[in-house]
Structure 1
């Protein structure tokens, strides 16, 4: 009986320690821009992105629902979901990767650059992504900001010829996460 209680206590402590090693947010933001000079802004933002960081090994994962992106123009949002992203068929984008040389004990309020390598899955396709993340500590939380560009053709996203000159083929993506 004593060993059973001890085993349960050890399992409880291990599960608690495991949770403590993870920081997460469900209110991260991803903004993308596919604007072309002299034409209407093509920009969407999603403020309900989930991101989890394992602080013991630097593994990171993020999930964004496609229908969570908002635009200034409602028609643009509709076209984004129905024609470009086919959000009913491909409802989410995910990223799974690792922050190289990540050591949570070395984080300070001063921002430091880290390299993130991983795989972005979007529109039924996968692509390796490498980006520089700016990471710092904010109280007990971790702030992470990163930017990268993707080619729409890498993800099989077709831009209709009628708007081909108004939408960039290379999309700039900005991610901001406050992990708690």
Structure 2
């Protein structure tokens, strides 16, 4: 009976160790910013510093979630118009990115290195999913991975309508930047 109990305890210990040893890196304080400014008009830009980003080192899968109401603008009226008139955040409260890094191999990704990969996946925004392919720079230092990406989106691709009254004040192409420090979980 003692042997059975010891075997059971050993099995439970091994199981709990394998459950706690994960190849996932994540953060809940990632930053997404965008700019849709045009020359000679007031800058249109915002930042969201509470974005969740998860990277699975075994598969190269990445998932990110940003609550739309988390974007902060320098001008409160812009934030109100963004949420109510353009992105309709009560109806579409989040943006979700899911994809896989092309040619990702965690074994070749070692300490104090930086590598750029292409993330192929989907971005869901304003109730519409679009296939995307964007560059992602990963830099590993210690137990953390810095993730950076810069890319452009077009509001029309996500059925975001810009009224003709202000269309000349808002860029047709929005510049998006992502920056996240991921820790092993």
Q: TM-score range by the shorter chain?
A: over 0.9
Match of 1:128 among 131, 136, 139: 131
SS in 1 for 2:165: helix
SS in 2 for 1:94: strand
**Are 1:107 and 1:136, in contact at CA under 8 Å, matched by a contact in 2?**
no
**Are 2:138 and 2:146, in contact at CA under 8 Å, matched by a contact in 1?**
yes
Q: Pairwise mapping of residues 71-110 of structure 1 onto structure 2 (< 5 A)? A: 71-105=73-107, 106-110=109-113
Matched with 1:150 is 153
Q: What is the CA-CA distance between 1:101 and the residue it aligns to?
A: 1.9
Matched with 1:49 is 51
Match of 1:35 among 33, 37, 43: 37
**Are 2:111 and 2:142, in contact at CA under 8 Å, matched by a contact in 1?**
no
SS in 1 for 2:133: strand
SS in 2 for 1:165: helix
Larger Rg: 2
Aligned-pair Cα RMSD in Å:
1.4
Q: What is the CA-CA distance between 1:151 and the residue it aligns to?
A: 1.1
Matched with 2:9 is 5
- With normalisation by structure 2, the TM-score equals 0.90
Gaps of 5+ in 1: none
